[in-house]
Structure 1
Amino acid sequence: MQHCKLHELFIFGISITKLISTGNSLIFRLHKQQMQSNFVDAQEKSIFLFSDIKIKGNDGEELSAHRSILVARSGLFNILLSGKNVTTQDLIFPEFSSNTLLVILEYLYTGKVTEKSLIIETVAEAYHCADFFLIEQLKLQIIEFFKNRDVDNKVNVSAKILSQILEYMESSDNELTNLLYDSVSSVPLETIEYCNLNGKALEYILSKIKKEETNMLSTLEYNLFHYIILWAANEISEETLSFYRSCLPSSEIVNNLNTTYLQKWNFNIPFNIQEIHSRYKPTMITKTSSLLDYVNLDRIHPLVISNIIEPLSGLISPNKLSDIRKKYALLAGKYIYISREVPSLQWSTCGYNMCLYRSPFIVTSNSLSQGWIRTAVPVSGQGLIEWDIVVEKMCCQFWVGICTIKGFNVDYNSWLGNHAYGWVFGSNGVICHNSSNSTNKYGQKFKEKDIITVHLDMEERTCSFSVNRISYPVAFRDLPDEIYPAVSLCAPGKAKIEPHVKYQNY
């Protein structure tokens, strides 16, 4: 034992210049072996014997080191330890843990870091620490360590480290942040677990998408909205997440609205959505306000805007929603739907007792009194538009028709045929407009499972109907230039709308 101590003392007496230039010197090998054997025990984190300085992190643990080596190997340590007024034997770095400071010491003594000191959980803090000490080569080694590290679910690990590095460092302009973004942007955003992204990281990702104007995440606008809302809800509680999950249809369902009208929408909108939303509203607004600015809402399907986003009041400002509706109205004069050939004839605004039934195309009534519903986007232009209403479940008074809302203060909780803005054809075989008397005989009576086709000629401004493909004459003339498909029902009535695919935009 005495011999070993003398040997170590002899090694320590080697000049600092020779120690630095000779990477294979005995002291380097001895110190490295000591580090590797003592890593697990926190009480044995002293890298060298015969140290003359202590370094402390924010956890209070002490690391022993040699003043001369630190001064020779680090410009920052040279400044901290070479001043005339430096009398203390301790240096305290409250920004870093002792484990992270150990990474710095290992590099300063050996010229590299190993897996004994650097682990995947401390990559972000170690990189920040290397940046603090101005050790560029160590930063590069940390990046290489992360690149070559084989870990499960690396995308989610990258998201977590990205969140950490953006918390630690003021600037996001560095190689590690860019590397982490490249990793998370290689997959759709919704595949990243909410718990792995903090607010700064999510905003950073959204800002990059907006700035680059690319689909790097293969994510459509609704997907972004969907992820932001559920991310914020997850930040509050599991109960909050469960509620907002029940409010928002899946991205797959909404994306299918842009391509076909025949898909199933296995989703029920909670009837008390606004009441429950009010409980979480202040916190949700705080967490989402800056993030939702990165979402282009007018690229989201109008059905979602009117039935999902509007009831979640406060998340989007009324002025912004008003601007979106104006854009829809302007486009509707030329197109029935904003971007597709298939008309967007899907149910939207309705009375209190009307609700969607597992699909945006099926509506049912929960009241013995009449109420009605219209589609989200109006029909206009000069073409012939046709759609079917399938009587899924008959009620005592089942009415198929059209309506307008221009210039009217409409009442959705009433019988549509009683108003100047409604034109309807009833299951009793009569038509009615702006009258409480439905005595105008037309066509034939219809029953459950029958199909009523509406033929709307916008050039002639007329409307006629067919029952089970048997056509009848014009029922209404002199219609306004903007029309919505509509049905008026009472319980247990259920109606399904099926637009005809053959359609031409004007």
Structure 2
Amino acid sequence: MTNLTNPIKKQIIKIRGESLENDLKTLLYNERFFDITLKCSNGIVLGACKNILSARSNIFNNLIQHKNINNIEFEKIDSNAMEFILNFLYTCRIDLEKLTIDNIIEIYHATEYFELHVLKKHIIEYTKQILEYENDDSGKKLLSNFVKKFAFNTDNEISQILIEWLAKISLTSDEAEKDSLTLIGLRYFLCKTYNTKKPFATFELDIFEYIVIKINKIILNSLEIKDKQNEKENEIIVAKRMNYYLKLLTPCIDLRRIESDYIIKKIEPMNVFPSEMITDAYRFKLQEENNLFRSIRGIPIFRWNENNLRNNLYISKDGFTLQADQNLDAYKHVMGDLIIRGKGIYEWDIIIEKLCKIIYIGICDHKKFNQECYNNNNQYYGWVLGSDGFVYNKKNWKKYTSEKFKEGDKVTIHLNMTDKTCAFSVNNIRNDYVSEWKNIPSEVCPIVSLKQGSRLRVQHHFYYESY
């Protein structure tokens, strides 16, 4: 007889008859009631009762009734996931406290295999809570675990949730060396979002630089540099491996969204992109109808930048809502974490959830922000629309809208980086481009200025025309 290995050792001592759930749970841990064994992918064998499995799961019913077997082997379900499934089948209890970043995908895979739709729904909702309340790296690890567990071409509900969540996270060079996103996870993410029409937070150039840094870190971690005599040899190895890994990811990178100068100076010399792919990118850029094609895939979205946050300003956990303390008497200027460059049209919405004093919404010079902003004596900074209906830039202002803002209003910024022009809409009523603004720089960031309790939320522009 197969030796059973039960990972839970605690003895369940309950008075029978008081709780159906507890009574059924005793069957799960008492070998007297086992008439079938389940060998899991990690070699652990669990015992179970055929009648309960058949009654609770169509998949188990088919396996047991049609084949009349006393043991089943599962090559892709480990004992952790199987025990979670058995506990649910026996008691209908969902032990969410047992879910972790490391086992959620494994258990989700098991719910799909056994077609347990109720349990799967609870796991999906719990995953959403993790993405909302845990740090950004948790979602990256979940996506990496997903690609490791499922076939690369898999599309299901949890993969869509993870992809859409990661798309709203800015992939920065600083995080590339230390986050948990694997190369295969990154490749899956980029392939699935190549033609996305949904919110996206990372420019294509930044994606490429993130990839290069991540690959370089992976390669260096795999090398043993014992002395300086091996440095040249290691440089050759690094170059070869870099070339190999980059070629795996090149189909997922949209060169049309990267500036020509960067392609010429940085990308072409690497000899990793097919010449046809580079030529097609150049030809695309030369066509006049593509003049508004953006340097970012999907619909641009950003979060408020915590790096330039000051006292008495608060950002929500998801990064999209910014609030000033009631006691903040001086105006503070806060940028979004999206550096807008290149050509194309960029639009985003700011929802005025709470309005105290005048607020200012618009764009600013990314390169000069730290230098100029805190020496600025004005209430505003950059090229902005005030809630008083005036537009402002430096010492210049003029009346722009006939009405002042109120709480609940939606302000949309329409930025044309090809023509370097900017316009605003209030509650979907669009106004003309501000003709006096002829000095918008080549790199800008979203910005707001607020004080004394005002609260603003950024969201992607729903009526966005994708380019």
TM-score computed with the length of structure 2 as normaliser? 0.50
Larger Rg: 1
TM-score scaled by length of structure 1: 0.46
Point out which structure has higher relative CO (alpha carbons under 8 A, 6+ apart).
2
